[in-house]
Amino acid sequence: EDKVVQSPLSLVVHEGDTVTLNCSYEVTNFRSLLWYKQEKKAPTFLFMLTSSGIEKKSGRLSSILDKKELFSILNITATQTGDSAVYLCAVRGHSNYQLIWGAGTKLIIKP
Amino acid sequence: GAGVSQSPSNKVTEKGKDVELRCDPISGHTALYWYRQSLGQGLEFLIYFQGNSAPDKSGLPSDRFSAERTGGSVSTLTIQRTQQEDSAVYLCASSPRTSAQSSYEQYFGPGTRLTVT
């Protein structure tokens, strides 16, 4: 059965710290891995990764995929209180449309 | 244009009543998805529409759940005889197309928080 596992489930850090969120997967016919940020209700898209070893970067956020070891990490440097959210990882496998979602990592940034 | 919209934003209903949740996708997006998210959980896939047809209804948890999409645009998710375990946030997402060769993100609406008392 396809599955996506995120760790840790929750994380509390202080403003300015750097955090690393993990997403591991076992998905048939992997196509892509996506990261989303969910602050209240609607997840918002962060990154899509399809190739190993190529870092995607947006400001203080970056992500990389390892297709050999079947995981991805999301890094946030110099964290701010506005980074507090649930970070969701999803993987597209053999289905053309269906994403398999992890349970998310709840990140809390303390001032 | 506007993003994905959903209504109502919150719905409180009594056990046994029927509810209808509405999703208005981004104009021109042919693919539409319904998800359910219980407190502290990830997204649970319910149903997918390509145009007006639903090739995958495998995620609907029971025959009390149904969905339709008309005109390739607005979709409604109906839950009949609601139960307390139906309480969750129901999220709708749309994307421009599906393709075996490409990958793309889904754009989410703000969700409907359903509480069954």
pLDDT in tens, A19-43: 999 999 999 889 899 999 999 878 9
What's the pLDDT band for B46 if we cut at 50, 70, 90?
A: very high
Buried b (16+ CB within 10 A) or exposed e, A24-58: bbebeebbbbbbbbbeebbbeebbbbbeeeeebee
- The reported pLDDT for the residue numbered B74 is 95
Q: Does residue A33 contact residue A48 with C-beta atoms inside 8 Å? A: yes
- Backbone torsions φ then ψ of B44, nearest 5 degrees: -105, 120
In CATH, what class is B5-111?
mainly beta
- The reported pLDDT for the residue numbered B104 is 66
- Residue from A46, A72, A94, A97 to probe the interface with B (highest B Cβ count within 10 Å): A97
> Tokens 């970070």, residue?
A87
* C-alpha–C-alpha distance, residues A91 and A47, integer Å: 12
Cα of first residue to Cα of last residue in chain A, in angstroms, is 41
* CATH superfamily label, A3-110: Immunoglobulins (2.60.40.10)
Q: Is B60 on the interface with A (CB under 8 A)?
A: no
- Residue from B23, B60, B97, B103 to probe the interface with A (highest A Cβ count within 10 Å): B103
Q: Is B101 on the interface with A (CB under 8 A)?
A: no
The predicted-structure confidence for A44-83, as pLDDT tens digits, reads as follows 999 999 989 999 999 999 999 999 999 999 999 999 999 9
What's the pLDDT band for B101 if we cut at 50, 70, 90?
A: very low
- Is residue B97 pLDDT above 60, yes or no? yes
